[in-house]
Amino acid sequence: MTAFLDGPDDRNIPNEIHSTEGAKEYGYQAALVGGATVWGWATPAIIEALGAGWLDRGWAEIAFRRPTYPGEDLTITVAPEDGAWALHVAGPDGHDRISGTVGLGDASWLPMLVTTPYRAADPDLPEHPTLTIDIAPVGGELRALGGNLHPEEMRTFAREKQRTDSPLFVGDRPRLHPGWVAARPIRVLHHSYDYGPAIHARSHIQFLGAAYADGPVTTTARFLEAYERKGHHYGVFDCCTYDAQGNEVIRQRHTTIFGVAKRGEAGD
């Protein structure tokens, strides 16, 4: 897979780390491709190894190890390891951009994830407070994010962001693409706060049932932790996503660097 990023020279985007000039200001050589997007590119290999049933009841635990830049040739491998499957997305230098584990059924860590019950989505705020470690709502719930997903929206995402024509994601009743799923917590946090530039650090994703882009989707979340490491400001929160019938179809833990330190200042 050759990594790509639409409009890397456009700095008028919510997260400037995905723009050429914005990324360079923070010490990176070029715009960073979004971690959720890169993770999504591993979907065909995962489904080839585990089958489409992974989308019904499967899991992933992944860490974003190094930046992915547009134009890099990535090698994606999924191989059996200790009763699960090891995932590696490696760059042309041989170093992993993403590494982790995927499997079928329920992950061993699923009971550790917080369940936030279904509730009606909260309306958009006219203005959002800026997220800092000092005001991070540790132990509190984030604003519930709604949205009415149309099948064509997911088809467009699959074709343009993932460059796939799999019937699973562009068919008559498209599934929620794992790349879209991994990015959902980012939208949830932005529903409550302004923050950034930001970098996706880690994801735990558990599919609890078949999830389709065919109507309302609601995500509730609880903010668990905020801390500083090497100058970066991290946040950790758990999300539960519900379908139009109120069934929980996805539970996940999202770790983000919501405040990126400039390289050198962060000791990187």
* Range 101-104 contact pairs with CB under 8 angstroms and sequence separation of 24 or more: 101/60, 101/61, 101/62, 102/46, 102/50, 102/54, 102/58, 102/59, 102/60, 102/61, 102/78, 103/50, 103/58, 103/59, 104/50, 104/51, 104/53, 104/54, 104/57, 104/58, 104/59
Residue type at position 195: Y
pLDDT for 267 beyond 90? no
Alpha-carbon distance of 230 to 46, in angstroms, equals: 33
In a domain, 158, yes or no: yes
The per-residue pLDDT of the chain, averaged, comes to 95
Q: Does residue 100 contact residue 87 with C-beta atoms inside 8 Å?
A: yes
In a domain, 222, yes or no: yes
Show the tokens assigned to 28: 């990176």
In a domain, 4, yes or no: no
Alpha-carbon distance of 162 to 77, in angstroms, equals: 17
pLDDT band at 264 (very low <50, low <70, confident <90, very high): low
pLDDT for 266 beyond 70? no
Q: Tell me, what's the pLDDT at 9?
A: 73
> Could you tell me the CATH number of the domain that includes residue 79?
3.10.129.10
pLDDT digits (tens, 9 = 90+) for 42-71: 999 999 999 999 999 999 999 999 999 999
Alpha-carbon distance of 220 to 239, in angstroms, equals: 6
In a domain, 267, yes or no: no
In a domain, 216, yes or no: yes
Tally of domains in the chain: 1
pLDDT band at 197 (very low <50, low <70, confident <90, very high): very high
Q: Tell me, what's the pLDDT at 250?
A: 98
Range 222-236 average pLDDT:
97
In a domain, 10, yes or no: no
Q: Tell me, what's the pLDDT at 251?
A: 98
pLDDT band at 268 (very low <50, low <70, confident <90, very high): low
pLDDT for 11 beyond 80? no
In a domain, 111, yes or no: no
Provide, rounded to the nearest whole percent, the portion of the chain with pLDDT above 90.
92
In a domain, 5, yes or no: no
pLDDT digits (tens, 9 = 90+) for 109-168: 999 999 999 999 999 999 999 999 999 999 999 999 999 999 999 999 999 999 999 999
Please give the residue range of the domain that contains residue 151. 16-105+121-259
Q: Tell me, what's the pLDDT at 265?
A: 56
